[in-house]
């Protein structure tokens, strides 16, 4: 029987925000069972907090954003949430001194390694899962994202770009902690060279560089080397895992994704949450 987990002790990481470029420290604190994952803006008056599964707002641009209300938010949460999913962390308090999580190396691996190095503490309460009982999907133009009933958590992702170095890529697999560590967590964020230039002109991507972002031209990543032949597709899977964990509990279901990104990911999260309230999805104890 799987039990809930929290972090063994307090620790912190620091880096720069991928979009803002601002230096940020993020502190991790142990939390009691059944309390969930809570983000705290330590730089704001009153230290406003929001717990996953009960956030007041969800928004996205090129990254996932959780709103506290009143214009306050935490952004680029997908990589740390994917790492927490991979580490099996159910309960933790995460306090930031800026609005954006640090980019680290552009993947989830450094977050995951930090959690493991500082210890994972088993708790008494049983893990609660979201068991998908009915098909749920969202789509937009040529993009599709759906989740279907299954006894395992499996993601199949199809990526397609006109860029020759990316082209058509595919990843499919049943995901657990070990597969995530080896096959998904090291995959870094990416963008096309022209997208990177447009982002900078728009005031975003101030913290991006060739070390934490795969900037792709027609020949491949600029001043970098791929960790996997299909690293962009694997990073899309990483983002999807992190976005789904915004629900605050692991999901058990079969995910089919075709050219989806944060926008569709969060639309699916909202739909799962809505249907969960309507009892079309069953909250179950983990087996």
**Separation between Cα atoms, residue 222 and residue 213, nearest integer Å:** 9
Any catalytic annotation for residue 262?
yes
Q: What angle do CA 212, 217, 218 make, to 5 degrees?
A: 145
**Separation between Cα atoms, residue 242 and residue 155, nearest integer Å:** 13
**Separation between Cα atoms, residue 125 and residue 121, nearest integer Å:** 12
**63, 254, 262, 273: which one is catalytic?**
262
Catalytic positions are: 262
């Amino acid at each position: 029987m799987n039990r809930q987990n929290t972090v063994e002790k307090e620790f912190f990481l620091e880096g720069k925000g991928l979009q803002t470029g601002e230096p940020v420290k993020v502190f991790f604190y142990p939390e009691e069972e059944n309390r969930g994952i809570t983000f705290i803006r330590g730089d704001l008056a009153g230290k406003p907090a929001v717990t996953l599964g009960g956030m007041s707002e969800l928004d996205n641009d090129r990254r996932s954003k959780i709103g506290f209300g009143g214009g306050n938010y935490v952004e680029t949460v997908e990589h740390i949430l994917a790492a927490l999913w991979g580490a099996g962390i159910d309960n933790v308090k995460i306090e930031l001194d800026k609005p954006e999580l640090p980019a680290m190396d552009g993947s989830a691996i450094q977050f995951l390694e930090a959690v493991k190095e500082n210890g994972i503490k088993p708790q008494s309460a049983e893990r609660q899962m979201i068991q998908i009982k009915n098909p749920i999907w969202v789509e937009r133009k040529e993009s599709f994202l759906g989740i279907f009933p299954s006894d395992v958590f499996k993601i199949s992702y199809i990526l397609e770009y006109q860029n020759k170095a990316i082209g058509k890529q595919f990843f499919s697999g049943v995901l657990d902690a070990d597969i995530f560590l080896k096959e998904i967590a090291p995959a870094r964020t990416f963008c096309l060279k022209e997208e990177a230039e447009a982002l900078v002109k728009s005031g975003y991507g101030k913290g991006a560089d060739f070390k934490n972002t795969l900037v792709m031209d027609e020949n491949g990543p600029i001043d970098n080397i791929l960790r996997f032949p299909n690293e962009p597709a694997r990073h899309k899977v990483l983002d999807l895992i992190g976005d789904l964990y915004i629900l605050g509990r692991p999901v058990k279901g079969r995910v089919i994704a075709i050219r989806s990104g944060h926008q569709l990911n969060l639309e699916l999260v909202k739909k799962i949450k809505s249907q969960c309230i309507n009892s079309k999805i069953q909250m179950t104890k983990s087996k």
